[in-house]
Structure 1
Amino acid sequence: MKDLVVVIAISIAFASLVTAHVAIAFGLLARPPRWRGPVAFAVVPLAPYWAWRERMRVRAIVWSGALVLYVIARILASV
């Protein structure tokens, strides 16, 4: 049962992380300077930083929370 919970947590966290990342990249693409969208998409750590600076705080918090949950779930999976 524990394994199933960890696998579900990993799946949900990764899906949330990818979704938030894409949403941040498209949000940055819609705001000047537009070059930050593709760069944030490719250079992953820049996405939440630029999202926070552009007042996309919910997206940045979701991205960060999903990353933390993903790392914790991966650690639990390896134990």
Structure 2
Amino acid sequence: MPLHRLLDQKLSKTYEPSARIDDVFKGYDITFLTNELGEPITLFFGKRRPDGAIAGERYTRTIKREPGSMAVAHSHWDLRGKVTR
């Protein structure tokens, strides 16, 4: 299942490098982890539990770069499965 267009736009931005960002999107709790360049690379989508973890789905991002530069040529998100713990 592809990500919602507005969520994909939100995750296309650059954030603080190597960070964990907790947020809400359309009534769902989201947490994403960024790489050393501040690009979101792991997304947890669902309902936040009292301990701060999310029960729902986990996605990972594949980033392809322009040859010889750090510019993103293409990226996509893959559903990696359910997160229940």
Q: Same fold, TM exceeding 0.5?
A: no
TM score, norm. by length of structure 2: 0.22
Greater length-normalized contact order (CA 8 Å, ≥ 6 residues apart): 1
Max radius of gyration: which structure? 1
Higher-helix-fraction structure: 1
